[in-house]
Amino acid sequence: MPEHFLATLPNFLAYLGAATVLLVGFVALYLYVTPYDEIKLIRANNTAAAISLSGAVLGFAMPIANVIAHSDTVLDLVFWGVVAGIVQILAWLLARVALPQLQEDIAAGRVAPATFVAALSLTVGLINAACMTY
């Protein structure tokens, strides 16, 4: 039985590495696209920024986890990970249209708009994950 675990360890490490790179890349892109500095706001104890960013990260992670569970290759993971990131950015842009004051709201620590953005990100991530089942 340990031989099986050792034989599958390279696949585990490949998927874990690819998922980590995708996650770091998504977070970097998300932080670049949003007009406020979430990390600075979170360090200043801004709950709204933490809620909003957490929703986006979890909304991105759900399709990534689903693809890992159902894909045949790391290339599948990379392709669908990029798609998942694009969809999450589009969800944030949709939230920005729905809530034109979102930039000011997050910076001011208003939790209600941040909760909406997080829920939207999670909902989109869940639907996205379901669509990536093949």
Q: What's the pLDDT tens digit per position in 48-93?
A: 999 999 999 999 999 999 999 998 899 999 999 999 999 999 999 9
**pLDDT value of residue 24:** 98
Write the pLDDT tens digit of every residue in 26-56. Answer: 999 999 999 999 999 999 999 999 999 999 9
**pLDDT value of residue 102:** 95
Tell me how far apart the alpha carbons of residues 87 and 120 are, in angstroms, rounded to a whole number.
11
Q: CB–CB of 110/102 below 8 Å?
A: no
Model confidence, pTM: 0.92
pLDDT at 123 over 70: yes
Q: Where residue 7 falls among pLDDT bands split at 50, 70, 90?
A: confident
Q: How many CB atoms lie within 10 A of CB 28?
A: 10
> For the chain, how far is it from start to end, CA to CA, in angstroms?
29
Number of structural domains in the chain: 1
Q: CB–CB of 59/125 below 8 Å?
A: yes
Q: Where residue 4 falls among pLDDT bands split at 50, 70, 90?
A: confident
In the predicted model, what is the mean pLDDT of residues 113-134?
94
Structural domain boundaries, residue 36:
2-131
